[in-house]
């Protein structure tokens, strides 16, 4: 999870202003390239999940490590549209997409009981990185420039992350276990198991799952938008470049609390309760950003961070809880793809708002609207008594 940081918005965000100056691109154009690169990542995740099912996680870990290190080097060379797009596409594909997916699959295949706690522990890797790396990266950029800072990140990936592939247990295609009901008992009818093998990489299992995807995509959309433009958005609220880095660290610290609490609750609480908590925090944090003051900006960062912590756990437990681990790579890959697509679109409302009105207010109102809709759907969610994977739902 920590290894995904170079491709996450929380770290890319501190590079944005430097990259804009180094590539002579407008903020709107750069946001569009970021969105296009993230769409590439979303499509790639459909295949990464399938490859993990087929070949195991060890081999995929090697490919992803090399790809993310290469993406850092490629991005450091960007001076125009072409390399900027390729760099962002590879950063998002191997960082924001592939490494979190691998971490989620490791938890899903390894743990059955207390999966929520296991997911919370693994999510702390990204949380810790989001606390430590933004201010360190800001200091690194100030000292050696953003291009050299990216090369340092690439070297770290090669020296530290790549060798960890030797410790990744390679588990091709977990044995189907059927679906799970709300009390986590296995449902293992032959019909369910036969049907579960026919899950398409692009198929949404049911209309209920579509609503769930809408809610799960909300943090990806809203948080990516805010974090991507964080330096500029926080500057409107009176924060300096260094203070913006500290605000991002505060967001990361709050996500620790959200991760720990939701990890403990996820093995006990209903899905509706977890969705509602996540959406409430996301909505409240977005609303606070409408107030152009430094204290409310820091408070918004804390609420958004707590929402991020809940999101990190919930996205990894809701699908195994509902559909079991039969071909979980495909299901989790589909979910990751939707989340990444939402993240691709997230920065655009704020970029267009700033370009057309000279302020982020209209874009922030759009984010508040999405967060509010997600909260309504969360409150209206009803946990199914028993969820079986059968042909009609597929």
Is-contact 384 205, C-beta < 8 A? Answer: no
Is-contact 305 250, C-beta < 8 A? Answer: yes
DSSP, collapsed to helix, strand or coil, labels residue 180 as strand
Phi, psi of 187 (to 5 degrees): -110, 115
Residue 265's nearest CA partner among 306, 237, 225 is: 306
Angle (nearest 5°) at CA 138 between 131 and 246:
45
Looking at residue 70, its pLDDT comes to: 93
**Alpha-carbon span 202 to 284, nearest angstrom:** 33
Question: How many helices (DSSP H) and strands (DSSP E) are in the chain?
Answer: 16, 2
198-257 pLDDT per residue, tens: 444 445 556 666 777 888 888 888 888 888 787 788 887 877 777 777 887 788 788 888
DSSP state of 205: S
User: Where on the phi/psi map is residue 387: left (φ > 0), alpha (ψ -120 to 50), or beta?
Assistant: beta
Give the containing element (helix H, strand E) for 157: none
Distance, C-alpha 172 to centroid of its chain? 24
Looking at residue 47, its pLDDT comes to: 79
Is-contact 254 306, C-beta < 8 A? Answer: yes
Looking at residue 393, its pLDDT comes to: 39
Looking at residue 186, its pLDDT comes to: 38
DSSP, collapsed to helix, strand or coil, labels residue 187 as strand
- Dihedral angle sign, alpha carbons of residues 266, 269, 275, 276: negative
Tokens of 49: 């999940």
Low-confidence ranges of the chain (pLDDT < 50): 172-202, 385-394
Looking at residue 150, its pLDDT comes to: 93
Looking at residue 36, its pLDDT comes to: 85
Q: How far is CA 63 from CA 55, 93, 109, 190, 201, in A?
A: 12, 12, 20, 36, 21
The rounded mean pLDDT for the chain is 78
From the CB of residue 366, how many other CB atoms can be counted at a distance below 10 Å? 18
Looking at residue 147, its pLDDT comes to: 92
**Alpha-carbon span 285 to 301, nearest angstrom:** 7
Task: Provide the residue count of the chain.
Answer: 394
Tokens of 96: 């924001």
DSSP letters spanning 234-274: HHHTT--HHHHHHHHHHHHHHHHHHHHHHHHHHTTS-HHHH
Tokens of 352: 């267009």
pTM score > 0.75 for this model? no
Distance, C-alpha 344 to centroid of its chain? 11
Residue 392's nearest CA partner among 208, 215, 187, 211 is: 208
From the CB of residue 191, how many other CB atoms can be counted at a distance below 10 Å? 12
Tokens of 277: 């908590």
């Amino acid at each position: 999870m920590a290894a995904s940081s170079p491709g996450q918005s929380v770290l890319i965000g501190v590079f944005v202003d430097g990259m804009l100056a180094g590539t002579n691109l407008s903020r709107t154009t750069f946001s569009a390239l970021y969105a296009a690169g993230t769409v590439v990542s979303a499509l790639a995740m459909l295949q990464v999940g399938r490859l993990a099912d087929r070949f195991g996680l060890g081999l995929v870990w090697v490919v992803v490590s090399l790809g993310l290190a290469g993406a850092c080097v490629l991005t450091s060379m960007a001076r125009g549209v072409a390399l900027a797009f390729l760099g962002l596409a590879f950063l998002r594909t191997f960082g924001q997409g592939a490494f979190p997916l691998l971490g989620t699959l490791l938890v899903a295949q390894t743990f059955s009981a207390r999966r929520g706690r296991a997911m919370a522990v693994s999510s702390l890797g990204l949380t810790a990185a989001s606390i430590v790396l933004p201010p360190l990266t800001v200091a690194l950029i100030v000292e050696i420039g953003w291009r050299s800072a990216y090369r340092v990140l690439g070297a770290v990936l090669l020296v530290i992350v790549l060798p960890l592939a030797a410790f990744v247990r390679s588990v091709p295609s977990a044995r189907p276990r059927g679906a799970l009901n709300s009390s986590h008992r296995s449902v293992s009818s032959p019909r369910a198991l036969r049907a579960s093998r026919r899950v398409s990489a692009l198929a949404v299992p049911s209309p209920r799952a579509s609503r769930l995807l809408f809610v799960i995509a909300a943090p990806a959309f809203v948080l990516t938008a805010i974090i991507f433009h964080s330096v500029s958005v926080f500057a409107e609220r009176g924060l300096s470049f260094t203070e913006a880095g500290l605000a991002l660290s505060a967001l990361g610290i709050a996500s620790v609390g959200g991760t720990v609490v939701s990890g403990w609750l996820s093995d006990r609480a209903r899905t509706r309760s977890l969705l509602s908590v996540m959406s409430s925090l996301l909505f409240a944090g977005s609303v606070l950003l409408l107030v152009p003051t430094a204290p409310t900006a820091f408070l918004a960062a804390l609420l958004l961070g707590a929402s991020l912590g809940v999101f990190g756990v919930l996205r990894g437990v809701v699908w195994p809880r509902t559909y079991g681990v039969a071909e979980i790579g495909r299901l989790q890959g589909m979910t990751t793809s939707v989340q990444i697509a939402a993240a691709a679109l997230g920065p655009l409302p704020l970029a267009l708002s700033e370009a057309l009105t000279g302020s982020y207010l209209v874009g922030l109102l759009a984010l508040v609207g999405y967060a509010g809709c997600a909260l309504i759907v969360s409150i209206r969610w009803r946990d199914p008594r028993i969820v079986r994977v059968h042909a009609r739902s597929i």
